[in-house]
Amino acid sequence: MSRSLRGAAAIVGVADACSPTGELEHFGRDLETRMVLEALEDAGLGLADVDGICHAQSAMSFAEYLGVHPRFTDSTNTGGSSFEVHAEHAAAAIAAGVADVVVSVYAATPRSDRKQGRSFGRVPPPGPNPAAEWEWPYRLRMPIGPYALAASRHMYEYGTTSEQLAEIAVSTRRWAELNPRARFRDPITVEDVLASPMQCSPLHLLDCCLVTDGAGAFVMTSAERARSLRKQPSYVLGAATCHDHMMISQMPDLTTTPGAVSGPAAFEMAGVKPDDVSVLLGYDSFTITALLHLEDLGFCGKGEGGAFAEEGRTAPGGQLPMNTNGGGLSYTHPGMYGMFLIVEAVRQLRGECGARQVEGADIAVAHGSGMVLSCMSTLVLGSEATL
């Protein structure tokens, strides 16, 4: 079955909120609304233009709050990859004429909530939960435990080392040094990573993402309309999603994620190869997550991710600029980081990133990872020159 969304839709507005303190003043619907309005302002559009809403909890509830009556609604929640999935679905809806202007939004303030004693609760998944019977009794620490299993297996299968995983954290921090909005900017070394407290073997504290407040939004419309708006459009060249498990015990291969399916499919739709990519924004909940993306998206062979990460290949000035805002490891991570991948990808294509700007960036990949390496969604974005 052939299908293509190539060039039919574009991201025309983005916004995100974070803080070097890790805390934000606003929260809840107030913060979400601020993000939507900021992203619309970035695009040169208004709330009256919106006829599509994406929200990972309830698009209906959020649309009601905004006073919008959308023709397209999407409440897909695949964890951290939700927003790449939203972008794929929105592009399809726009291409089909179902909607004209679609917004997706995310906001979470876990750091402030804990300090302020706020609790919004967690909604359990609908229906029976097999993990309650087959995984929870074994007390695997969540969410880090599944990633530690993947890292351990990768080390066993391919000889990957803790030092190589640490190289990813070091390179990501080097990008954060260039970002005044990043939570952590002090330089770190491989030795610092290895000396940080062990959390769940073989992952150390500095192998793990942050826990911060954060929020973001993006706006999409047709390629035709995008050309008349305020900012340079970031065109959707390719998009694909794949998930192959929910529980980590059901992952077919702990060393291969569903990105091995979504990545090649998105690249094929886009008509590009990994070597054409200027910037990779790959979900980095843990260093092993980022390493698996490098392999499964085809930037190196299976088992070669550790060696690829050495010598600063993903750092400033490296072969493959990766997570140029500082990533979930050093920039921000409020729980579902995929929104921030898209925002940074768009800003890199626009040339808006200041000291961390990748010169000549014209193709950016936002690759989201949801749940426990469960659902991968790959979005290939390009500038006008790539159409």
Q: 6 near 91, Cβ under 8 Å?
A: no
124 has a pLDDT exceeding 80: no
- Give the mean pLDDT of 256-271: 98
Residue of 294 and 132 predicted with greater confidence? 294
What is residue 133's predicted lDDT score, i.e. its pLDDT? 85
237 has a pLDDT exceeding 50: yes
- Give the mean pLDDT of 225-229: 97
- Give the mean pLDDT of 56-71: 97
Listed in sequence order, the residues at least 6 apart from 244 whose beta carbon sits closer than 8 Å to its beta carbon are: 251, 252, 258, 261, 374
- Give the mean pLDDT of 7-16: 98
1 has a pLDDT exceeding 50: no
CATH number of this structure's domain 9-116+208-386: 3.40.47.10
What is residue 117's predicted lDDT score, i.e. its pLDDT? 85
Residue 67 CA neighbour count, 13 Å, CB half: 3
122 has a pLDDT exceeding 70: no
pLDDT in tens, 69-87: 999 999 999 999 999 999 9
Say how many C-beta atoms besides its own lie within 10 A of residue 299's C-beta: 23
Listed in sequence order, the residues at least 6 apart from 370 whose beta carbon sits closer than 8 Å to its beta carbon are: 78, 79, 80, 81, 82, 243, 336, 338, 376, 377
